A and B are shown apart, each in its own frame.
Chain A
Amino acid sequence: MTTLTKADFQSAQETRWCPGCGDYSILAAVQGFMPELGIPPERIVFVTGIGCAGRFSYYMNTYGMHAIHGRAPAIATGLAAARDDLSVWIVSGDGDALSIGAGHLVHALRRNVPVKILLFNNRIYGLTKGQASPTSERGKVTKSTPRGKAEAPLDAISLALGAGATFVARAVDRDKQGLPEVLRAAAEHPGAALVEVLQNCPVFNDGSYEHVVGAEKDANRIPLVHGRPIVFGPEGERCVARAADGTLVVADTASTDEADIVVHDAHRADPGLAFQLAQIGDLARGPVPLGVFRSIDAPAWGEGLVAEARAARERVGDAELDALLQAGDTWTVA
């Protein structure tokens, strides 16, 4: 078999996102990393929801279904119920996955359906032209919240952990190194993987992630590496430490006892640490933990059931059907 290249994953359809949209960076990263999987394009499926992110499926030269608002996890679950020989990806946005489709997201995660969910979080409704989304920060002024958004934002990572997700990660659209790394880890995970991608919408929420992509990015990215102490900043001058009362705090590395610096453990069964990490930092201002929060081994949903059904299909014929139809009390009229 010839080796695959990025071009093998690029469809002929013209991309229609606004110029400068973070979605372009994510698309390039996905198309660029896909050849590494060694899976031919026809065995990959993208199921997407509604919103700017929903267009993603049209731009991949794989199988794709641009579904309905919020329902991609349900449809992908059905695909996974019928097939075990495909790599199934969901692309969704913050409105799609966390508002109208939040219920489906939660259940796909708690079932551990073998799908990879990319949640593009631009903290705004883009396609409908600029309303507040569930992840918009409190006080955000938008067309639908002229006096500032009154509600607290919803955190995708915390929600996923609460749903019992077995793989939870976060990356940034323009992070050319970090994003593919996280995608790779997600692809290798056998169950449901949720990847939140912080994505800039230059039209309706420009600069919302400037702190993690601009000049200050090193000060604002908290890299989570399994087994490593969590330190960050250009010189590693800051860290995540455990305070005396058990909470996690951002501290100066120099003035913190080494033993108090938290060592990341993405593989522990207890999601407590991952949840605490999700709570530190500030998505809207930084610093922001990035990388894999949690990745644990757990049986994927319906493991073996597709194979069982396939075996039944090959085995079962008219004789078995006749036996089923004539089961129970029967009588014969001559």
Chain B
Amino acid sequence: MTLVEKPTASRERVVVRFAGDSGDGMQLAGGRFTSATAEIGNDLATLPDFPAEIRAPTGTLAGVSSFQIHFASRDIATPGDRPDLLVAMNPAALRANVGDLQPGGAIIVNEDAFTKRNLLKAGYESNPLEDDTLSAFQVTRVPMTMLCQRAAEAIDGATSRDAQKARNLFALGLVCWMYDRPIDGTERWLNEKFAGTPVVRDVNLAALRAGYNFGDTNELVGPRVQVAPAEDVPPGVYRNVNGTQALALGLVAASIRSGLNLTFAAYPITPASELLHDLARRADLGVRTVQAEDEIAAAGIALGASYGGGLGVTATSGPGMDLKAETIGLAVMLELPLVVVDVQRAGPSTGMPTKTEQSDLLMALYGRHGEAPLPVVAAATPGHCFDAAFEAARIAIRYRTPVILLSDSFLANSSEPWRVPAAADLPRIDPRFASSPDPDTPFLPYARDEHGARPWALPGTPGAQHQIGGLEKADGVGTISYDPANHARMTELRAAKVAGVAVPDVVVDGDDDAELLVIGWGSTAGAIRAGVRRVRERGRNVARAHLHHLNPLPANLGEVLRRYPRVLMPELNTGQLARVLRAEHLVDVRTYSKVEGRPFQAAELEAAILEAIDA
């Protein structure tokens, strides 16, 4: 029932951030907005930001929770640098987020929350809605609490508290109207979710519609912005996934395609715990999860499961990696499959547990005593976590080796549309278990196949009894050996096996005669792609490459690095992979470093790349 046809504008891309108190339901509003956005076919990327404290005091800066979404009619690479629209449900949310806003950007506030008490808690001495604090922005004041109360009035049995709690749906409805997103998907979702509590369902539905209609009828809001569906999207079935979900799916897929039951053992730690929660719900697919007594046990349980013929996986974040190192070293020596997932976070020590960083790389590569090389795989985007997990499992099984899979807090929490692969298109992983030897031939537990892998003889296989362990073993026969030449040979064989893992060549996006190569690894992929695109739009010739295998490195990497006069490597650490590439290839790889617990923004990389070209 539109009274006046409102003007519309069209935009290529938009960044929206929902911000409120951690009890305000911002993650839910953001999640539903994401679904609606995916439904109209925009490309998108999202990033939630939660407070570190579980129950930070209400209304304070520490308690602010936010959800950012970037959506566009073209392909996009990051959750966006600066929001075009900030929805602030209280003064603390405004204060914590306004600094990130695009100059001239829009702010919608729930003005009912701007009470004296809340302003004080947020550290505002005067009301920013009434002075000139926000003069650089277009501010829309909406009395959301009051409007939710009014919307709930007609519902029998609805309390004022029910109405209060529906404010996030009001905000969602309003923002859906502003960007022309459908709300019927959210209506269906509410109907399902609150089927058992009709009053809550009806209040939420009323608030959602009230928000939507408020946009439609109130002249404070407008114009309506349209973002057309993205084109050039490869055909297929899509869903929105975050890195945690994709990683868990990748592990399950590897389990099913290898025929090995997945045993996933972990100790609670932020942000890796979400993997345990996710996989704990997959018992119907043959997944066994174990919440271990500590990080060491988690690694031991995973390794024990692999010894028994399962796919043993453990996951943790930084501090847990320190504790698992000894078991990983044992797995190197035993030459058994083991996947160790490190969802990196800002360190050292407890550091900033909810913030992202790529600073565990050198530990993954080298953080064990003795000569203990192992393959390292890094996930690049939320969706790529699926491929990286599958690949890590494939290498572990094929080469009988522990593999470290690096993800990080940013990948774990951010989401993007993901083209769902068909199960049948995923490679089969053949575990090639050893069978019983002929009665007259001794079983050789340290014989090697064409890939340098030793036989995986499961307990229960008659005639293949053997004893493995951390002590050095004689080549072939596998008895304990202190022979100097044997130790040198075994060291070499273990290293050669890892160095020989088949890794695809690194692919360069760009011209051979580019002025600069930007090379990255892990979760910086999106930001680097966006930064490079901006530089190219300025007419500069920049090439880009991204590494998914960090050990062994692609065979063509040295040639690629030497092809360009300048090489820049942005990393969320102080230059760890750059150091490795310099050492391996004697190329002057320059570092662009950031260790603020936050991902790169496209704009800062644009500036860094321009500076590096002209340096």
Contacts and interface: CB of A to CB of B under 8 A. Distances in A.
B330 A325 contact: no
B190 interface: no
B256 A320 contact: yes
A76 B265 CA distance: 13
A81 B265 CA distance: 10
A107 interface: yes
A308 B284 CA distance: 8
Interface residues of A, number: 64
B433 to A, nearest CB: 13
Nearest to B294: A103
A80 B236 CA distance: 41
Given A64-B467, A329-B240, A77 B297 contact: yes
A309 B307 contact: no
Contact of A42 (B234, B422, B465): B465
Interface in A73-132: 74-83, 85-86, 103-104, 106-107
B126 interface: no
Contacts, number: 220
B187 interface: no
Interface string A315-334: 01111111011111111111
B310 interface: yes
A167 B326 CA distance: 30
A72 to B, nearest CB: 8
Nearest to B253: A321
Nearest to B334: A65
B256 A317 contact: yes
A327 B238 CA distance: 10
Interface string B233-273: 11111111000000001001100110111010100000000
B224 to A, nearest CB: 23
Given A81-B290, A83-B459, A103-B294, A330 B238 contact: yes
Interface in A288-334: 302, 305-306, 308-310, 312-313, 316-322, 324-334
A330 B465 contact: no
Contacts of B330: 67-68
A209 interface: no
Interface centre among B35, B307, B422, B464 (most CB of A within 10 A): B307
A65 B304 CA distance: 9
B292 A74 contact: yes
A66 B467 contact: yes
B459 A104 contact: no
A84 to B, nearest CB: 10
Contacts of A64: 465-469
A104 B467 contact: no
Contacts of B253: 321, 325
Given A42-B460, A42-B465, A318-B424, A324 B334 contact: no
Contact of B423 (A63, A76, A85, A321): A321
A328 to B, nearest CB: 6
A64 B465 CA distance: 8
A71 interface: yes
Contacts of B468: 64-66
Interface of B: 35, 38-39, 41, 185, 233-240, 249, 252-253, 256-257, 259-261, 263, 265, 282-288, 290, 292-294, 296-297, 299-310, 312, 326-327, 330, 334, 420-424, 459-471, 479-480
The 5 closest A-B pairs by CB, nearest first: A78-B304, A66-B469, A74-B300, A312-B286, A82-B308
Interface of A: 11, 13, 40-43, 45, 47-48, 50, 57-58, 60-68, 71, 74-83, 85-86, 103-104, 106-107, 302, 305-306, 308-310, 312-313, 316-322, 324-334
20 contacts: A11-B465, A13-B467, A42-B465, A43-B460, A47-B304, A63-B459, A63-B460, A66-B468, A67-B300, A78-B301, A81-B288, A82-B304, A83-B308, A103-B297, A312-B286, A313-B259, A321-B257, A326-B420, A329-B185, A329-B240
Given A68-B327, A82-B309, 16 more contacts: A57-B469, A63-B465, A68-B326, A74-B297, A74-B299, A78-B290, A78-B305, A82-B307, A309-B261, A309-B287, A319-B423, A325-B249, A326-B237, A329-B185, A331-B38, A331-B239
